[in-house]
């Protein structure tokens, strides 16, 4: 029994050293994971911003094209435009009464 006790006492400093090493490794791993997560988040945010900018530009171009087409159509056929607007107004008025 005395031999076992001596072995436990001899192992105790080694275990403490191993625990400290594990703590240092875990701290380093945590730092690495945090750094990688930050870099990944920044890359994703940059990609989302870039995609949103491109989509906004495409949408603006399409809106400008449609507005130009509508304006041109109204200038070429003003009576048709007024008639369509009147019918649409009446339809909306009927729907809003119910």
Tens digit of each residue's pLDDT (9 = 90 or more) over 2-53: 455 555 556 566 788 889 999 999 999 999 999 999 999 999 999 999 999 9
Domain count, the chain: 1
What pLDDT was estimated at residue 97? Answer: 86
**pLDDT grade, residue 91 (50/70/90)?**
very high
pLDDT greater than 60 at residue 62: yes
What pLDDT was estimated at residue 3? Answer: 52
What pLDDT was estimated at residue 25? Answer: 95
Classify residue 74 by burial, with Cβ atoms within 10 Å: 0-12, 13-18, 19+: middle
Are 81 and 74 in contact by the 8 Å Cβ rule? The answer is yes
Domain housing 90: 2-97
């Amino acid at each position: 029994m005395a031999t076992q006790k001596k072995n436990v006492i001899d192992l105790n400093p080694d275990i403490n050293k191993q625990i400290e090493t594990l703590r240092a490794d875990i701290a380093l791993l945590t730092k690495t994971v945090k750094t990688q997560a930050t870099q990944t988040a920044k890359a994703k945010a940059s990609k989302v911003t870039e995609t949103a900018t491109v989509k906004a530009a495409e949408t603006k171009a399409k809106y400008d094209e449609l507005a130009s087409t509508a304006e041109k159509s109204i200038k070429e056929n003003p009576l048709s435009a007024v008639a369509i607007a009147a019918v649409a107004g009446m339809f909306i008025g009927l729907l809003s009464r119910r």
